[in-house]
Amino acid sequence: MKRIVLVALALYMTVSCAKKETPAAAPSNATKSFTVAVIPQGSTHEFWKSIHAGAVKASRDFGAQHVDVKIIWKGPLREDDREQQVQVVEGFLTQRVDGIVLAPFDKNALVRPVEEATRAGIPTVVIDSALESRDPLSFVASDNHHGGELAGEEMSRLLGDKGKVLLLRYQEGVFSTEQREKGFVEAIAKHPRIQLISSNQYAGATRDTAKTAMENLLNRYGHEIDGVFTPNESSTAGALLALEDAGKAGKVRFVGFDTSDMFVKAMREGKLHGIVAQNPFRMGELGVQTLVDHLLGKNVAKRVDTGVTLITPANLDTPQSQELLHPPLDKYLK
């Protein structure tokens, strides 16, 4: 009897120890977690708000896949503050975020901090404006050169293939707007009866600096210009204000770039004759999606084109135009 009890006790102890040494199975719905820094060129334009909303949408969509993505949104106040944007990137390196989605203001100034991020094992997806570096794992943006071409061809149509046009550039060193300007100039060059009478002036970072630059151009060329092209939101807004103050809004054919309620109103009033619209909401969404897919071990495309669309008074109220003009900001930024 005593032997039976001892054998039973030994068996119990063996089974009990075996159970303790068996590792517990991982929960089938285990959540992965990433912190992603999203760094715009600035914080005030509607364009950047749309990118922010798109980034938030992507983070929520990953939540449905049991992937927790925390977005940290931070950028310089002004779009011409290279140093502050560099400092923002460097600050996130010390915080050891899992990845960075960056819209670089300067194609050269942001190269070093992005390469430092790569060495630190922090991948970067560049959005909106390209960087002169091979380090970013992907570039998510519009085809800006094609956008400039669309603007040039529309200007030619508006002018009946003849006239004098000026281009008010944005800022030196910004790859995206440089490509738009290049596309516009090349498109205009295909129409020999259209003369580009000024293309070497810069609007600067804000609508106020753009308004001043446009006023100076109007003082010099106002009596002879037939058309104006501006390559981004702030330059378009500043030029519009200057044309209104000079009493030339609607009399000069005007094509801009990017979207805002101000531009929609101006098109309905005949003061603005077309805008080339990007899809910044989609840009922010795909920027975050591409980065997190990479962090999850998936293959990602080196180049993602988010498209450009010419919006004019003729197609202003189509569903496609309205979707680009009114992204769901309130839904994601509340």
Identify which of 280, 318, 316, 328 has the alpha carbon closest to the alpha carbon of residue 103.
280
pLDDT tens readout for residues 304-315: 999 999 999 999
Judgement on whether residues 239 and 254 belong to the same structural domain of the protein:
yes
Identify which of 120, 96, 98, 124 has the alpha carbon closest to the alpha carbon of residue 110.
124
* Amino acid occupying residue 35: T
Tokens 């060129």 sit on residue = 41
Cross-strand bridge partners of residue 196: 165
Q: For residue 17, what pLDDT is reported?
A: 37
Q: Over 90: is that where the pLDDT of 25 sits?
A: no
Q: Is residue 329 part of a domain?
A: no
Q: For residue 2, what pLDDT is reported?
A: 39
pLDDT tens readout for residues 58-68: 999 999 999 99
Judgement on whether residues 168 and 204 belong to the same structural domain of the protein:
yes
Judgement on whether residues 46 and 92 belong to the same structural domain of the protein:
yes
Q: For residue 226, what pLDDT is reported?
A: 98
Q: For residue 274, what pLDDT is reported?
A: 98
Judgement on whether residues 194 and 242 belong to the same structural domain of the protein:
yes
Judgement on whether residues 131 and 188 belong to the same structural domain of the protein:
no
Q: For residue 7, what pLDDT is reported?
A: 36
Judgement on whether residues 285 and 138 belong to the same structural domain of the protein:
yes
Judgement on whether residues 160 and 270 belong to the same structural domain of the protein:
yes
Q: For residue 8, what pLDDT is reported?
A: 40
Judgement on whether residues 39 and 79 belong to the same structural domain of the protein:
yes
Give, as one character, the DSSP assignment of residue 252. Answer: B
Q: For residue 31, what pLDDT is reported?
A: 83
Judgement on whether residues 159 and 67 belong to the same structural domain of the protein:
no
Res. 233 pLDDT band, cuts 50 70 90 = very high
Q: For residue 328, what pLDDT is reported?
A: 95
Res. 21 pLDDT band, cuts 50 70 90 = very low
Give, as one character, the DSSP assignment of residue 26. Answer: P
Per-residue pLDDT, averaged over 76-100, amounts to 93
Alpha-carbon gap, residue 235 to 321, rounded angstroms: 21
Judgement on whether residues 75 and 43 belong to the same structural domain of the protein:
yes
Alpha-carbon gap, residue 159 to 161, rounded angstroms: 5
* Number of Cβ atoms within 10 Å of the Cβ of 292: 25
Q: Is residue 298 part of a domain?
A: yes
Domain that holds residue 156: 144-277
pLDDT tens readout for residues 126-157: 999 999 999 999 999 999 999 999 999 999 99
Q: Over 80: is that where the pLDDT of 188 sits?
A: yes
Per-residue pLDDT, averaged over 172-199, amounts to 97
* Amino acid occupying residue 99: G
Judgement on whether residues 151 and 264 belong to the same structural domain of the protein:
yes
pLDDT tens readout for residues 192-232: 999 999 999 999 999 999 999 999 999 999 999 999 999 99
Q: For residue 9, what pLDDT is reported?
A: 38
Number of domains within the chain: 2
Judgement on whether residues 166 and 204 belong to the same structural domain of the protein:
yes
Whether the CB-CB separation of 152 and 186 falls below 8 Å is answered with yes
Q: Over 90: is that where the pLDDT of 87 sits?
A: yes
pLDDT tens readout for residues 239-288: 999 999 999 999 999 999 999 999 999 999 999 999 999 999 999 999 99
Q: For residue 11, what pLDDT is reported?
A: 36
Whether the CB-CB separation of 234 and 206 falls below 8 Å is answered with yes
Residue 77: CB partners within 8 Å, gap ≥ 6?
Answer: 42, 43, 44, 84
Q: For residue 29, what pLDDT is reported?
A: 55
Q: Is residue 64 part of a domain?
A: yes
Q: Over 50: is that where the pLDDT of 28 sits?
A: no
> Mean pLDDT, the chain, as a whole number?
91
Q: Is residue 150 part of a domain?
A: yes
Res. 334 pLDDT band, cuts 50 70 90 = confident
